[in-house]
Amino acid sequence: MNRRVVEFITALRAQGVRISVAESIDALRAADVAGVTDRKVFRSALRATLVKEPQDLPTFDKLFPAYFGSDPPPPMMQPGGGMSDEEREQFMQQLMEMLRSMTPEQLRQLFEAMMTGQRMSGQQMRQMLDEHTSLSQMPPNVPGSWALRRAMRELQFDRLQELLEELLEKLREAGVSEEALQQLAEEARQNQQALAQQLAQEAGAGMAQREAEQPRPRPSEEELLDRPFEYMDEEDLAELRPIVTRLAAQLRSRVALRQKRANKGNLDAKSTIRANMRYGAVPLDIRHRRKHLKPRLVIICDRSRSTEQVVRFLLQLIYTLQDVVSRTRSFAFIDTIYDISSYFNEARPEQAIEQVLQNVYPKRSYSTDLGQSLADLMRDHAGCIDHRTTVVVLGDARNNENDPRLDVFEQIKRRSHKIVWFNPEAPHMWGQYDPGSLSSDMLKYMPLCDSVHHVSNLRQLVAAVDSLFVR
Amino acid sequence: MRRFFGRERSERKAANVFDTIEEIRSRLGEQQYIASDEIATTVFLAERLNKPVLAEGPAGVGKTELAKVWAAATGRDLIRLQCYEGLDETKALYEWEYAKQLLYTQLLRDKLSDLLAGAETLGQAADRLAAEEDVFFSDRFLLPRPLLRALTSERPVVLLIDEIDRADAEFEAFLLEVLSDFQVSVPELGTIKARHQPMVLLTSNNTRELSEALKRRCLYIHIDYPSLDDEERIVNLKVPGLPPRLARQAVELVQRLRTMDLKKYPSISETLDWARALLELNARSLDRHTLDTTMSVLLKYESDLRKARRAVARADDERAERRRRDRDDEFRNFREN
């Protein structure tokens, strides 16, 4: 049993669930305590010890049947209940005769199970699927239902129906009553369905196990960090999610340490005297004036197709760093400014980002207008920028020949603590004419920024975000 | 005086440990808590493996309640530590009672001068004073906070660390020692080990990712909103006076609200509040008027309320329309016959 559990853990790991050695030991102890007699309890015990993230639960649910057997297959019934003894004799005799001459072997097995109501074991069935179908050679990306249909065809599963008709015809000739025949047909049909269901379970479990044992080759972490955002596909994104979480944790502790070390400000005499009144004014508890070290952030993102991935990662990083930031407001711009902070107040960052990307999107091409957006920002949300705010603009500054509104940008710069630009484009493209998106105003904005960062991959983005927290 | 290291009182009987998972379920049921398979199994494992439990899930699905009934079902005391941003050791673990120390120093001044009377050099006086230092840094002046209380308690306890996701990451790291070894280090006193191993339940509303290290040390349950039948059972159990038909209708509506696109979904506790409100108002059925007046118990945002009212009104109109059509059909059939 222990070995099976360990194999199961290996499979879970191969599917990207993070399980430490300590947790596997817990799982084994839990399995011991919970016992294997009650499947549901055993399953909950493994689940409580192995799966610590809600998003890993589906993986667990998918793999569990492959390693510890499926739910018990539906019950089969013994056909021929409504027959007289004589008729049953007839039935058995005819059935034996048919079975004797039937080929191929797997069809004979299925038909026998169907007509006698004797269940096939999961192992038998798995063996049959392995030997007589192409299920095990199926490439892993084939949808399960399609593979199953094909396997059923290879087993000639629909011929069972014909065989049943044939048997019924023979019995009819032998003079079995019509009523008994109908009942027999009905029972046989139900058994057939039960068999189909069992086959589907076993096939699904087999596929899940095979998939778990041959994990897809993955690019290394270093490679992903350096891969430009525009070349990333869905799979890379999934791979990157845990990495981003870890990078964020690293960033957070680095920033928190920096803030802590710098925490000793000047002596706050007033507060010290007040706090120490209860000690007879002996200054035991020295109070310092806290420096406001946690930055306030205002993030302005270009929501266009080219910057989608960068926006995703930037927002995820920033919102996982919330405990070292004193306040964050985030905006997206297309032709005007959209306040997206509210999404993040109600959902976890990943969900919120998806919602933002779904709800805020460009309705026509060439609609980006940063100048107008900045003006709208100053009109509607000027209050969120003050002398402690760091303003981050994320975008390629390709403005479709619209007025860049440098006056507004300068106004923002004057109001804010500093203004930082993140540009996903390579520096040699800045200010260059590009037929796709026309002119770039980067060189016009650049002198007004306190710093400009090139962020085309995750490594650069993390470094740029880190620099926000340095005074 | 608080003597939590006291040895006078005899140890009370240890909390009874459950034998089977069924027993847990029935004992929690006696406390009016309907435990799912997962919850019962996890509590069972926690008791057997002596591991903390981390419960995650949306607000108001009974995570905190679980700690309460767990304590009640096993006859343990419940000690609660509510987390918030800026929570630190002095508020969670212990603090020295400076004021009391100072007061004692003042009152014992004469005694102190006696003690120092024969001293010839300053060094000697300091040595003598140092020898008495223990008096001032003893448990007499220690103010225990929830964590230390849980470890040093005479009676077995359930320790509830509520909303751990609100505390800072540093505090989480600090908890690790407590959760894995059930001991804490107080620099002046040494390491304090738990007298009875407390059962620990941490809850999190998922507002931020918890550290891997913390999760690794815990058993994990994800508690979600209950199914229709479970929620109906809960309402019937907790609000016994409400007519079952009305309870069913109410729960159905709540479940439907959870499928809508709302800012905040109604939690179980809000369903119960609403059921109680319906009972107080002697409502007979969920008509438009009753809904209008009581829906604010369920939904806490104006925009949500508006959305829900519109949906209910639409459903009502459809029903009325259907009824009218049925009646017309009947009438026509009647005339044709």
Across A118-122, A295-299, B328-332, the highest mean pLDDT is recorded for: A295-299
More confident of the two residues A202 and A353: A353
More confident of the two residues A22 and A155: A22
Pairing of strands B199-204, B219-222: unpaired
Pairing of strands B142-144, A451-454: unpaired
Contact B207, B165 (CB under 8 A): yes
pTM, entire model: 0.64
Helix ranges (DSSP H) in A117-216? 122-132, 144-154, 159-173, 178-213
Per the structure block, which two tokens stand in for B193? 């080990």
What's residue B4's pLDDT?
45
Chain B interface includes A96 (CB < 8 A): no
Mean pLDDT of all residues belonging to chain A? 81
pLDDT exceeds 80 at position A83:
no
Chain B interface includes A348 (CB < 8 A): yes
Q: Which of B54, B99, B170 sits opposite A279 (nearest CB)?
A: B99
Q: How many angstroms separate the CA of residue B41 from the nearest CA in chain A?
A: 6
Q: Which of B20, B50, B209, B304 to mutate to test the interface with A (most CBs of A within 10 A)?
A: B209
**Phi, psi dihedrals of residue A339, rounded to the nearest 5°:** -80, 115
**Cβ atoms < 10 Å from Cβ of A265:** 13
Mean pLDDT computed over B315-325: 82
Residue B7 pLDDT level (bands cut at 50, 70, 90): very low
Which burial class, exposed, middle or buried, applies to A18 when counting CB atoms under 10 A from its CB (0-12, 13-18, 19+)? middle
Q: Residues, chain A, total?
A: 471
Contact A400, A366 (CB under 8 A): yes
Across A111-115, A147-151, A314-318, B26-30, the highest mean pLDDT is recorded for: B26-30
Residue B13 pLDDT level (bands cut at 50, 70, 90): very low
More confident of the two residues A211 and B153: B153
Nearest Cα residue in chain B from A18: B212
B88 in helix, strand or coil? Answer: coil
What's residue B52's pLDDT?
93
Task: Tokens 């593979």: give the residue.
Answer: A147
pLDDT exceeds 90 at position A142:
no
What is the percent of chain A with per-residue pLDDT over 90, rounded to a whole number?
A: 8
Contacts of B102 in chain A (CB under 8 A): 279-280, 282, 284
Chain A interface includes B59 (CB < 8 A): no
What is the percent of chain B with per-residue pLDDT over 70, rounded to a whole number?
A: 95
Concatenated DSSP letters for A273-312?
A: HHHTGGGTT---S--BPPP--SPEEEEEEE-SGGGHHHHH
What's residue B8's pLDDT?
37
Mean pLDDT computed over A161-187: 82
Pairing of strands B157-162, B142-144: unpaired
Measured CA to CA, the distance from residue A213 to residue A220 in angstroms comes to 19
Across A392-401, A410-419, B287-296, the highest mean pLDDT is recorded for: A410-419
Mean pLDDT computed over A149-158: 80
What's residue A267's pLDDT?
81
Q: DSSP E strands: which ranges in chain B?
A: 53-56, 77-82, 94-96, 142-144, 157-162, 183-186, 190-193, 199-204, 219-222
Residues 6+ away with beta carbon under 8 Å from A306: A230, A396, A424, A437
What's residue B337's pLDDT?
67
Chain B interface includes A23 (CB < 8 A): yes
B274 in helix, strand or coil? Answer: helix
Is the CA virtual torsion B203, B205, B206, B209 positive or negative? negative
**Cβ atoms < 10 Å from Cβ of A9:** 20
More confident of the two residues B89 and B8: B89
What's residue A240's pLDDT?
80
What's residue A213's pLDDT?
67
Cβ–Cβ gap B208/A320 under 8 Å? yes
pLDDT exceeds 90 at position B203:
yes
Q: Which of B18, B24, B41, B164 to mutate to test the interface with A (most CBs of A within 10 A)?
A: B41
Task: Tokens 């499979």: give the residue.
Answer: A11
Q: Residues, chain B, total?
A: 337
What's residue A262's pLDDT?
60
Measured CA to CA, the distance from residue A380 to residue A378 in angstroms comes to 6
Residue B15 pLDDT level (bands cut at 50, 70, 90): very low
Mean pLDDT computed over A41-56: 88
Residues 6+ away with beta carbon under 8 Å from A19: A9, A12, A13, A50
Across A209-218, B64-73, B109-118, B276-285, the highest mean pLDDT is recorded for: B64-73
pLDDT exceeds 80 at position A28:
yes
What's residue B12's pLDDT?
38
Measured CA to CA, the distance from residue A265 to residue A290 in angstroms comes to 6
pLDDT exceeds 90 at position B143:
no
Measured CA to CA, the distance from residue A437 to residue A380 in angstroms comes to 28
Q: Measured at the alpha carbon of residue A323, what is the angle toward residues A318 and A326, in degrees to the nearest 5?
A: 85
Measured CA to CA, the distance from residue A336 to residue A223 in angstroms comes to 36
What's residue B201's pLDDT?
95
- Taking CA atoms, A454 is separated from A327, A423, A429, B68, in Å, by 25, 5, 11, 53
Q: Where are the domains of chain B?
A: 2-93+145-222, 101-139, 228-336
In DSSP terms, B94 is beta-bridged to: B144
Cβ–Cβ gap B169/A323 under 8 Å? yes
Cβ–Cβ gap A18/B212 under 8 Å? yes
pLDDT exceeds 50 at position B216:
yes
Per the structure block, which two tokens stand in for B67? 């700690």
Residue B285 pLDDT level (bands cut at 50, 70, 90): confident
Residue A264 pLDDT level (bands cut at 50, 70, 90): low
What's residue B6's pLDDT?
40
pLDDT tens, B222-232? Answer: 998 888 988 99
Cβ–Cβ gap B206/A30 under 8 Å? no
Measured CA to CA, the distance from residue A63 to residue B104 in angstroms comes to 65
Q: How far is CA B20 from the centre of its chain?
A: 24
Nearest Cα residue in chain B from A277: B99
Residue A27 pLDDT level (bands cut at 50, 70, 90): very high
More confident of the two residues B99 and A213: B99
Residue B271 pLDDT level (bands cut at 50, 70, 90): very high
Count of CB contacts below 8 A, A vs B? 86
The CATH homologous superfamily to which domain B2-93+145-222 belongs is P-loop containing nucleotide triphosphate hydrolases (3.40.50.300)
Mean pLDDT computed over A380-385: 88
Task: Tokens 């870890």: give the residue.
Answer: A246
**Phi, psi dihedrals of residue A74, rounded to the nearest 5°:** -60, 150
What is the percent of chain A with per-residue pLDDT over 70, rounded to a whole number?
A: 92
Closest by Cα among A279, A291, A297 to A422? A297
pLDDT exceeds 80 at position A435:
no
